[in-house]
């Protein structure tokens, strides 16, 4: 799959993958294509685009607030997908849509999948879709090469992690905190060891995410895995118009770079 290949290509160059998250429609849906183009120029391996939803169970305060700002402008899943279609005229990196089941059901599952293919979506993250229901959810439907990314938590038993890894497509999302997204001051001493174990079990690249907000976090947590996903900090910096700090964060994925 294109998403997995993009990560492996970056790793083969001796670099770590970096996937920034943005909330579709935050600050206006018309901004999204320009934001995606900026993130690609800055070195994003792939980009995760969130869809505003009224009950985002995996999102912390920063991303919740971004979603509420987008919802106040009546931004829908359809709007986000249309903006991705426009962005594809100038943006080539893989795009992963992060959404919840309810917007997909309202859109229509088959229509959603066909639209994702048409606009150039490479992967999906659906936090409230359990592994056991995913086969039923996509049964008989043409998902083609759209990767369905699975998430593993710090409390997942190793047998469960192994099962999720075996079914994950594109990459395996290793959640680095117990709780929702948002910046952390520091991570537990055993986290790097945990990530190394997950990476050993996974046939697809492992990306660490949740709470990563500094260049030091990027370097620390990407040591044992393919790379990192940064969400809340990217959303916060985009709202502030601080592109330079975003570039510094992303530069930390490179070997021997001090920022």
Residues pairing with 118 in the sheet? none
Nearest CA-CA partner of 253 in 49, 67, 16: 16
What is the C-alpha to C-alpha distance for residues 214 and 36, in angstroms, rounded to an integer? Answer: 21
How far is residue 67 CA from its own chain's centroid?
Answer: 15
Burial class (CB in 10 A: 0-12, 13-18, 19+), 255: exposed
239: left (phi over 0), alpha (psi -120 to 50) or beta: alpha
Beta bridge partners of 230: 20
Write out the chain's pLDDT in tens, 259 residues: 899 999 999 999 999 999 999 999 999 999 999 999 999 999 999 999 999 999 888 788 999 999 999 999 999 999 999 999 999 999 999 999 999 999 999 999 999 999 999 999 999 999 999 999 988 888 888 887 899 999 999 999 999 999 999 999 999 999 997 655 554 555 666 898 999 999 999 999 999 999 899 999 999 999 999 999 999 999 999 999 999 999 999 999 998 755 4
Element (H, E) at 171: none
- Tell me the two tokens of residue 249: 């964060």
Give me the pLDDT at residue 136, please: 84
pLDDT of residue 35: 98
pLDDT of residue 143: 85
Fold of 2-250: TIM Barrel (3.20.20)
Q: Where would I find the beta strands (DSSP E) of the chain?
A: 17-23, 47-50, 95-98, 123-125, 147-152, 172-175, 206-209, 227-230
Domain boundaries, the chain: 2-250
Determine what percent of the chain falls in helix, strand and coil, rounding each to the nearest 5: 45, 15, 40
What 3-state DSSP class applies to 109? helix
Return the closest-CA partner of residue 179 out of 99, 61, 87, 5.
Answer: 61
Given a contact cutoff of 8 angstroms between Cβ atoms, the answer to whether 237 and 26 are in contact is no
Please name every residue paired with 23 in a beta bridge, in sequence order, or none if there are none. Answer: 50
| pLDDT at 150 (0 to 100) | 97
Catalytic residues: 48, 59
């Amino acid at each position: 799959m294109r998403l997995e290949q993009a990560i492996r290509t970056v790793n083969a160059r001796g670099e770590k993958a970096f996937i920034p998250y943005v909330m579709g429609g935050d600050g206006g849906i018309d901004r999204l294509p320009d934001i995606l183009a900026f993130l690609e120029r800055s070195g994003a391996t792939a980009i995760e685009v969130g869809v505003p939803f009224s009950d985002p169970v995996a999102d912390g305060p920063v991303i919740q607030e971004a979603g509420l700002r987008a919802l106040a402008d009546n931004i829908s899943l359809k709007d986000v997908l249309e903006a991705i279609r426009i962005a594809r005229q100038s943006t080539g990196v893989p795009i992963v849509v992060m959404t919840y089941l309810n917007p997909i059901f309202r859109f229509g599952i088959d229509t959603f999948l066909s639209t994702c293919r048409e606009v150039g979506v490479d992967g999906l993250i659906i936090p409230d879709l359990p592994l056991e229901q995913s086969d039923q959810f996509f049964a008989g439907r043409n998902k083609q090469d759209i990767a369905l990314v699975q998430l593993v938590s710090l409390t997942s038993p190793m047998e469960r992690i192994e099962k999720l890894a075996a079914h994950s497509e594109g990459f395996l999302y290793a959640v680095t905190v117990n709780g929702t997204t948002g910046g952390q001051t520091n991570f537990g001493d055993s986290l790097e060891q945990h990530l190394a174990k997950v990476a050993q079990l996974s046939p697809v690249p492992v990306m660490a995410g949740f709470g990563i907000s500094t260049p030091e976090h990027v370097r620390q947590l990407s040591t044992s895995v393919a790379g990192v996903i940064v969400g809340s900090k990217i959303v916060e910096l985009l709202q502030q118009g601080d592109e330079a700090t975003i570039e510094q964060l992303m530069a930390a994925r490179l070997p021997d770079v001090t920022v």
